């Protein structure tokens, strides 16, 4: 069997899009040697994400759980309460309760605080040569989610360290080191959050943790374990995707001067432009599903019990969905990118990630007359699913 796709290939991390194009053109429903079915066409992927015969319940899959420490390991026990890993009524219950307090209105109220946090970072940086990933993209989402949850400033660096290790849980291939790190980090982070919840029970605050403790819908409430698990999810989803969105977006603009000129001349184009930037180089490249029934695609039958990997990055460059898809065009319009999923598991934190990217891009190009890369070489982080830069060194001048 010929394998056209291997997420462990370093070349795929450097530039996955030629591989996606070859797969989409030659074998859009591709079965790998490891047994995964890999989908690359927009319509096929959207159909799978909306299909009721697909499941996100990987924590109950024996092989998936084994690679992450087994069914009783801390990380697997935690993911069994993550809303993104639940299906049906269990998923709807937690999503409704979390969504009841994590609303678009609540997120939009964060705009002044996000702008203040971004301005504070840029004030500290000033001018000169800086790494936008380490100085802006990495700290910002932890500051924002920390503010949202009421996490003390002095604890946020530790939260980021734990989040970095736990985030590997969604990787398709787990090394023993990753397994041990994510389980240790989950245990430590869980203990920390349990202490934060105990404090809110004694002294309620004006923050999301307090709101999650008191949220009630139709007589239903979240347990402490469910709150902690989904706060871990919010940290991971909110951190990794925002870091990658900011870094990938700035890099794309620097590599497309005509689009950068558009942003400078028409900053009002930035909010809609973020959708195009996430389409062009998605912060989340892939997701997986388990099939609970047979599915027919492209003349092939994918049997019940199969594991399906949907490549968001490939769908977002599908010429059947987007004209000239390899071109960055902030005026494109009509974008329904799969950067944050689709269907019932569409990312609940997507509006927050978009807002953070919008604020960073607006502030960056308002403040600095010159934003230019100091090297043509870029290094991508060793994570296929979550695509992001390890560093983005630039020169900034007012």
**Contact between 82 and 233 (Cβ < 8 Å):** yes
Residues present in the chain in total: 398
- Strands in 135-234 per DSSP E: none
DSSP per residue, 220-270: B---HHHHHHHHHHHHHHHHHHHHHHHHHHHHHHHT-HHHHHHHHH-GGGH
pTM of the model: 0.90
DSSP per residue, 87-129: -HHHHHHHHHHHHHHS-HHHHHTTHHHHHHHHHHHHHHH-SEE
Handedness of CA 275, 279, 283, 289 (dihedral sign): positive
How far is it, in rounded angstroms, from Cα 83 to Cα 175? 25
- Print burial letters for 260-289: b (CB count within 10 Å at least 16), e (below 16): bebbeeeeeebeebbbbbbbbbbbbbbbbb
If phi > 0 it is left, if psi is from -120 to 50 it is alpha, else beta; for residue 120 that is: alpha
299 contacts: CB under 8 Å, gap ≥ 6: none
- Print burial letters for 46-84: b (CB count within 10 Å at least 16), e (below 16): bbbbebeebbbbbbebeebbebbbeeebbbbbbbbbbbb
For 151, which DSSP code? -
How far is it, in rounded angstroms, from Cα 390 to Cα 5? 23
**Contact between 97 and 360 (Cβ < 8 Å):** no
How far is it, in rounded angstroms, from Cα 39 to Cα 116? 41
The two tokens of residue 176 are 């023993």
- Strands in the chain per DSSP E: 29-31, 37-39, 54-55, 128-131, 286-291, 295-297, 300-302, 307-311, 370-373, 393-397
How far is it, in rounded angstroms, from Cα 53 to Cα 302? 12
How far is it, in rounded angstroms, from Cα 269 to Cα 272? 6
The two tokens of residue 365 are 């190009």
How far is it, in rounded angstroms, from Cα 153 to Cα 156? 5
pLDDT of the chain, 398 residues: tens digit per residue: 456 788 888 888 889 999 999 999 999 999 988 888 999 999 999 999 998 889 999 999 999 999 999 999 999 999 999 999 999 999 999 999 988 887 888 888 889 989 998 999 999 999 999 999 999 998 888 888 888 899 999 999 899 899 889 988 888 788 999 999 999 999 999 999 999 999 999 999 988 899 999 988 888 899 999 999 999 988 887 778 899 999 999 999 999 999 999 999 999 999 999 999 999 999 999 999 999 999 998 889 999 999 999 999 999 999 999 999 999 999 998 898 888 888 888 888 888 889 999 999 999 999 999 999 999 899 998 878 889 999 999 999 99
How far is it, in rounded angstroms, from Cα 194 to Cα 225? 9
Query: Please, what are the domains in the chain?
Result: 10-397 (1.10.630.10)
């Amino acid at each position: 069997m010929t394998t056209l796709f291997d997420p462990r290939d370093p070349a795929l991390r450097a530039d996955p899009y030629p591989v996606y194009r070859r797969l989409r053109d030659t074998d859009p429903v591709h079965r790998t040697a490891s047994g995964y079915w890999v989908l690359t066409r927009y319509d096929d992927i959207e159909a799978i994400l909306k299909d009721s015969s697909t499941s996100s319940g990987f924590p109950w899959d024996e092989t998936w759980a084994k690679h992450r420490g087994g069914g009783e390991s801390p990380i697997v026990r935690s993911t069994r309460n993550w809303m993104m890993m639940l299906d049906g009524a269990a998923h709807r219950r937690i999503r409704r309760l979390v969504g009841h307090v994590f609303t678009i209105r609540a997120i939009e109220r964060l705009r002044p605080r996000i702008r203040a946090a971004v301005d504070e970072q840029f004030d500290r940086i000033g001018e000169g040569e800086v790494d936008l990933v380490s100085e802006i993209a990495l700290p910002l989402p932890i500051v924002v989610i920390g503010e949202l949850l009421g996490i003390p400033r002095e604890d946020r660096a530790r939260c980021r360290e734990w989040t970095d290790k736990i985030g590997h849980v969604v990787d398709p291939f787990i090394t023993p080191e990753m397994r041990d790190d994510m389980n240790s980090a989950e245990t430590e982070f869980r203990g920390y959050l349990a202490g934060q919840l105990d404090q809110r029970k004694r002294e309620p605050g004006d923050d999301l943790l307090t709101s999650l403790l008191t949220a009630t819908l139709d007589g239903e409430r979240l347990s402490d374990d469910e709150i902690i698990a989904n706060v871990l999810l919010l940290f991971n989803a909110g951190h990794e995707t925002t870091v990658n969105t900011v870094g990938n977006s700035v890099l794309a603009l620097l590599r497309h001067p005509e689009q950068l000129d558009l942003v400078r001349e028409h900053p009002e184009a930035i909010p809609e432009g973020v959708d195009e930037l996430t389409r062009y180089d998605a912060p989340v490249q892939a997701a997986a599903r388990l099939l609970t029934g047979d599915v027919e695609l492209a003349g092939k039958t994918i049997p019940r019990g199969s594991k399906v990997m949907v490549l968001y990055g490939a769908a977002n460059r599908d010429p059947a969905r987007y004209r000239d898809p390899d071109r960055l065009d902030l005026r494109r319009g009509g974008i329904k990118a799969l950067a944050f999923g689709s269907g019932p598991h569409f990312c609940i934190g997507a509006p927050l990630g978009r807002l953070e990217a919008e604020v960073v891009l607006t502030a960056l190009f308002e403040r600095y007359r010159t934003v230019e890369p100091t090297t043509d070489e870029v290094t991508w982080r060793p994570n296929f699913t979550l695509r992001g830069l390890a560093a983005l060194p630039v020169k900034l001048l007012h």
